[in-house]
Amino acid sequence: MTTIAVVGATGKVGHELARLLLARGVTVRALGRSPARLAALAAEGAEPHTADVRDVKALAEALRGADALLAMIPQDFAHGDPREDQRQVAEAMAAGLQVARIRHAVTISSLGADLAAGTGPIVGLRGMEERFNQVPGLNVVHLRPGYFYENSLASIPLIKSAGVDGGLIRPDVPITMVASRDVAAAAAELLAAPAFTGRRVLELPGPRDYTMAEATRILGEAAGRPDLTYVRFSEEDTRQGLLRAGFSTTSAEIYLEMFKALDQGLIRLREPRSPATVARTTFEEFARTVFAPAFQH
């Protein structure tokens, strides 16, 4: 029976991936730091493994005997040196799978990872790709999804309190977006019976691009706020909003860099959409089935 280790199994992509693999009869080792948060997946049949993703020894032990790894870098917005944290996590995962002799891996990276600088936290994901590519004998696919639809859920408090949505990105810039569940589905196709070889990149866009103004209109209609509009915030207002949300000063600056890159159209598809890569979920469907229930909760 195939055994897949999933880092970040309690996150949106990792949890959905674990469920998809379990439904296919795959053994899932769900890796996370909190036994309590892993309990739900354990109840569904996953093997819970509590391990710090920065601990090579613990990771190697959790990975031993697995057929493949789903690797991602959990976000720590409060970390004082997020890029160093990303480097440490990527190094530990790469070293751990090498010790455990894992021969297949899928990473959750991002559009924009083709750029060496200027993309905020995506620079750290590029570093993860590069580190995994250095592991001898490892077959790896780097999934590069667009901007997650689920990022819009963070706007709910603002919409409820101020009656508007907003951010640093200009309202008329087309952004490549995708649903996290479609990223999980793509990973499941690769990992259910891992047979891919070599090292390659796979971009994952949604059916089409959306501007922030258009996305806000769709969210408003789904949530019963048809007059909802998008307001472009200043850099300083955005910075203060991130700090109030719990970001460290350094993390806030790094995310501002990513927003600017999106605003400038730097984080974008490098390959044309194709039937093999385009995700199925539209933003309209996400707004109806995910955002609206969360907004009304």
- pLDDT, residue 275, reads 87
Q: Is the dihedral of CA 89, 92, 94, 97 positive or negative?
A: negative
Please tell me the pTM assigned to this model.
Answer: 0.96
- Low-confidence residues in the chain, pLDDT < 50: none
Residue 251 included in any domain: no
What is the spatial distance between Cα 261 and Cα 122, in angstroms, rounded to a whole number?
10
- pLDDT, residue 277, reads 86
For residue 94, what are the domain limits?
A: 3-148+179-204
Residue 90 included in any domain: yes
Residue-wise pLDDT for 194-232, tens only, equals 999 999 999 999 999 999 999 999 999 999 999 999 999
Give the closest residue to 71 by CA, choosing from 93, 49, 52: 93
Both tokens of residue 180?
A: 């996290």
- pLDDT, residue 297, reads 86
Residue 169 included in any domain: no
Residue 268 included in any domain: no
- pLDDT, residue 159, reads 97
Both tokens of residue 208?
A: 């089409």
- pLDDT, residue 276, reads 83
What is the spatial distance between Cα 13 and Cα 106, in angstroms, rounded to a whole number?
12
Residue 294 included in any domain: no
Residue 79 included in any domain: yes
Instruction: Report the chain's C-alpha Rg in angstroms.
Output: 19
Into how many domains does the chain fold?
Answer: 1
Exposure string over 2-25, b if 16+ CB within 10 A, otherwise e = bebbbbbbbbbbbbbbbbbbbeee
- DSSP SS3 for 185: helix
Both tokens of residue 291?
A: 């955002």
Residue 188 included in any domain: yes
- pLDDT, residue 34, reads 85
Give the closest residue to 115 by CA, choosing from 106, 107, 125, 104: 125
What is the spatial distance between Cα 56 and Cα 60, in angstroms, rounded to a whole number?
6
- pLDDT, residue 51, reads 87
The DSSP symbol for 178 reads E
The CATH number that applies at residue 62 is 3.40.50.720
Give the closest residue to 144 by CA, choosing from 269, 280, 53: 269
Residue 9 included in any domain: yes
